[in-house]
Amino acid sequence: MYKLPPEMRVIESARLIAKDMWDSKWADEAYRVLRTDKEIKDFRWTAWFCVENLWLIEDPKLVAPTGLEFELNGQIGGVQIRGFIDRYGPSKDSLMLTVSDYKTGKTPKGSYVDEKFTQLLLYAILLSNLGVGDVDKVELLYLKDGVRLEKTITTADIEKTTEYVLETKQEVDNSCKTGVFEARTSYLCNFCSYKKICPAWSR
């Protein structure tokens, strides 16, 4: 929708795009996973509510994206990183950039908020390192709840994120050398296909 002229970024356009995408691709994909008509109906309504809630967060007519689904492939402290930015464009109050990311999960609470910005801070550093532009703000758009979370980037954020990348790379390298990979359980284990060979589950 954001590829349309600003005056056409209305909910009616979104509805037509959603229907076209469903008919041309996603219906077949969904029926491979969802088995009943009720599951399909619930899935489509949930997806549409997320699209509709975009208008609770911003007026799409006023957004001026520079990059959409923009691929990044660069280095942070010598560590190669690849990712895709949902959206970036000019910041409202400066000559720098804002990086935006759409989320369909629940809005985090309290102490869990800061960690959710890590991915976007990585993208901000990469955009600068690749010469695309400097970023002064990142934002998370939680479509399920119609909530926007923003963060103004500081020098401390850049330093902390760079340190995190270097430490993570070092941990991965050490594990590859020793063959020891620490098993950390979480609710995500419920969706993992490797429990049978995971030390935390195969005891």
The residue-averaged pLDDT of 167-196 equals: 91
Per-residue pLDDT for 201 more than 90?
no
Per-residue pLDDT for 79 more than 80?
yes
**Does 51 share its domain with 139?**
no
Q: Left, alpha or beta for 23 (phi > 0: left; psi -120 to 50: alpha)?
A: alpha
> What is the number of structural domains in the chain?
2
**Does 138 share its domain with 122?**
yes
- For 95-129, write each residue's pLDDT tens digit: 999 999 999 999 998 888 999 999 999 999 999 99
- Which residue would you say has higher pLDDT here, 199 or 125? 125
**Does 141 share its domain with 190?**
yes
Q: Is the pTM of this model over 0.75?
A: yes
- For 127-160, write each residue's pLDDT tens digit: 999 999 999 999 999 999 999 999 999 999 999 9
**Does 71 share its domain with 124?**
yes
**Does 46 share its domain with 71?**
no
Nearest alpha-carbon partner for 143 in 33, 53, 12: 53
**Does 27 share its domain with 116?**
no
Question: Per the domain annotation, does 1 fall within a domain?
Answer: no
- Residue 87, strand partner residues: 68, 100
**For the chain, what percent of residues have pLDDT higher than 70?**
99
Sorted by sequence, the CB contacts under 8 Å of residue 122 that are 6+ apart come out as 76, 81, 83, 161, 165
**Does 124 share its domain with 47?**
no
**Does 79 share its domain with 37?**
no
Question: Per the domain annotation, does 137 fall within a domain?
Answer: yes
Range of the structural domain that residue 142 is part of: 64-203
pLDDT of residue 203: 60
Question: Per the domain annotation, does 131 fall within a domain?
Answer: yes
The residue-averaged pLDDT of 30-52 equals: 93
Question: Per the domain annotation, does 176 fall within a domain?
Answer: yes
Nearest alpha-carbon partner for 159 in 121, 127, 130, 111: 121
Task: For residue 60, count other CB atoms closer than 10 A to its CB.
Answer: 19
